[in-house]
Structure 1
Amino acid sequence: MTTKTIGITLSLLFVSFLSSLTAQNTIYEPLVLEDVTYAPEDFGKMWTFDAVPTQRFEELYEFKVTEDWLEDVRLSALEFSTGCSASFVSKNGLIMTNHHCVRGLLPNIQQEGENLQQDGFYAAKMSEERAFPNIYVDQLLSIEDVTEEIQGAMAQGKNNEEQVKLRDEKIKEL
């Protein structure tokens, strides 16, 4: 064997040894879910429509959540096709979102001589509004708990692979 071959072989052995050391040593302990505790404050001020912290609203803000209010908020909440959140802010369909959500799209509606990134944009009339091409929003119209249906389909599987297949089929069906 040449010196070069021995050097390459030793280097590979050394790298393999180091990678096995790092694979065996970790700062993370196995997670035991029964030991995990949390409080509502751990979630900050964000919530989902299927888990509205109504009692917390009453305690912190002296505000009683009604079904009408919740439906109005739910129907106002949107998701851009880019993954960002947004909201309807008018009955005419005007949408508001964060600047970073549209920053990369601005060149698509920018006219010659404009720098919307630097100068911004204000439409004094609806006819002056500009729509982003090929961008859409999703609106949450309803929520339905389908957990039991999916678990029922999975229970028909004889092994993990079959259960995953049945789960995926049921989700696609729903």
Structure 2
Amino acid sequence: MKRIVIGVLALFIIFGNLRADEGMWLPLLVGKQKMKEMKASGFKLKAEDIYSINHNSLKDAIVQFGGGCTGEVISDEGLIITNHHCGYRQIQEHSSLEHNYLEDGFWAMSKREELSNPNLSVKFLVRMEDVTEKILGGITMETPEEERGKLIIARSAATTKLAIEGTNFIAEVKPLFYGNQYFLSLLSDKKIPVETLVE
């Protein structure tokens, strides 16, 4: 876990000192897409340290937060960070006229002061796979939109069913990059409660 935390911090440190290189960089693809540039900028980890199916990597610190947001574990005690809007409902539920956490924020100075969120949980990413060819293979610009939609739904269902066969995982196929690529995510089937909230 310490190696994962150090790796996450290294990414923040390295990219915090560079020009904005905006975009969405998936752990699965970063070795192909960005590793050369990252190495040239002084990045010390290998692509396998970011994403590896068989070994500990940064991938193991990525969670599906609540209903589908991405989060990252950044401590050995399970501290998770995510985007503000992902916890908006929980922040709103804890807010009152006396304590407007939506406007003023909240910081727990000790574990005792943390706020409970019994209906909020995370699932850990097990692996990702590019399944674009399985989903879009044979579909062309001439394929009618309705037929295209039905094919994608049917193929996504078949891909997820096959992926979880004989496992205890949950599978999802999601389109990225405006529907030009499809990725299968395997997630742990156990929902791990998020009992605290720090904003």
Normalised TM-score (structure 2): 0.49
Residue among 106, 110, 115 paired with 1:120? 106
1:94 aligns with 79
Structure 1 residues 68 and 115 mapped into 2: Cα distance closer, same or farther (>3 Å)? same
Deviations 1:106-161 (A, max 9, x none): 24245895443426231413x54333243333433211222332245x56xxx635
Deviation at 1:88, TM superposition (A): 1.0
2:151 aligns with 166
Identity %: 28
Q: Across the two proteins, how many residue pairs are aligned to each other? A: 129
Amino acid at match of 1:58: K
Residue among 48, 66, 91 paired with 1:81? 66
Structure 1 residues 167 and 45 mapped into 2: Cα distance closer, same or farther (>3 Å)? closer
What's the C-alpha RMSD, in Å, of the aligned pairs? 3.5
Amino acid at match of 1:144: E
Written as runs of structure 1 = structure 2, the 5 A alignment for 1:102-141 is 102-109=87-94, 114-117=99-102, 118=104, 120-125=106-111, 128-141=113-126
Q: Answer 1 or 2: which has greater strand percent.
A: 2
Contact 2:66-2:86 at 8 Å conserved across structures = no
Paired with 2:23 and 2:136, the residues of 1 have a C-alpha distance of: 31
Three-state SS of the structure 1 residue aligned to 2:128 is coil
2:22 aligns with 44
Paired with 1:103 and 1:164, the residues of 2 have a C-alpha distance of: 32
Normalised TM-score (structure 1): 0.54
Task: For CA contacts below 8 A with separation 6 or more, give which structure has more relative contact order.
Answer: 2
2:42 aligns with 61
Q: Answer 1 or 2: which has greater helix percent.
A: 1
